[in-house]
Amino acid sequence: MTLIVDAHEDLAWNVLTFGRDYTRSAHETRRQEHGSETPLRNGDTLLGWQEYQRGYVAVVFSVLFVTPAHRRETWETVYYDNPDQAHALYRAQVDVYHRLVEKHPGKFRLIQTRPDLEHLLGDWQQHELDLPVGEGKGNGRDPESLPKAGHPVGLVVLMEGAEGVREPAELDEWWRLGVRLIGPAWAGTRFCGGTREPGPLTKEGYDLLEAMADFGFILDISHMDERALMQALDFYPGRIASTHANVHSLLKDDDSNRHLSDRAIQSLLERDAVLGVSPLNQFLLAGWKRGDGRELVSLERLVAHIDHICQMAGNAHHVGLGSDFDGGFGLQSVPHEINTIADLQKIGGLLGERGYSEKDVAAILGGNWLKLLRQSLPQK
Ligand SMILES: [Zn+2]
CA of 321 to the centre of ligand 1 (A): 13
d(C-alpha 155, C-alpha 9), whole Å: 10
Q: What is the DSSP letter of 247?
A: B
Residue 5 near residue 58, CB atoms below 8 Å:
yes
d(C-alpha 280, C-alpha 196), whole Å: 18
CA of 60 to the centre of ligand 1 (A): 14
CA of 131 to the centre of ligand 1 (A): 33
CA of 258 to the centre of ligand 1 (A): 9
Per-residue pLDDT of the chain (380 residues), as tens digits, is: 899 999 999 999 999 999 999 999 999 999 999 999 999 999 999 999 999 999 999 999 999 999 999 999 999 988 999 999 999 999 999 999 999 999 999 999 999 999 999 999 999 987 654 444 444 444 444 444 455 579 999 999 999 999 999 999 999 999 999 999 999 999 999 999 999 999 999 999 999 999 999 999 999 999 999 999 999 999 999 999 999 999 999 998 899 999 999 999 999 999 999 999 999 999 999 999 999 999 999 999 999 999 999 999 999 999 999 999 999 999 999 999 999 999 999 999 999 999 999 999 999 999 999 999 999 999 99
Residue 110 near residue 178, CB atoms below 8 Å:
yes
CA of 324 to the centre of ligand 1 (A): 7
CA of 183 to the centre of ligand 1 (A): 9
CA of 241 to the centre of ligand 1 (A): 13
What predicted TM-score, i.e. pTM, was given to this entire model? Answer: 0.95
CA of 283 to the centre of ligand 1 (A): 12
CA of 193 to the centre of ligand 1 (A): 14
For 152, 155, 217, 260, the CA distances from 108, given in Å and listed in that order, are 5, 7, 22, 32
CA of 211 to the centre of ligand 1 (A): 23
d(C-alpha 7, C-alpha 160), whole Å: 12
Residue 354 near residue 303, CB atoms below 8 Å:
yes
CA of 186 to the centre of ligand 1 (A): 6
CA of 322 to the centre of ligand 1 (A): 10
CA of 244 to the centre of ligand 1 (A): 7
CA of 275 to the centre of ligand 1 (A): 13
CA of 297 to the centre of ligand 1 (A): 21
Q: What is the DSSP letter of 115?
A: H
CA of 138 to the centre of ligand 1 (A): 31
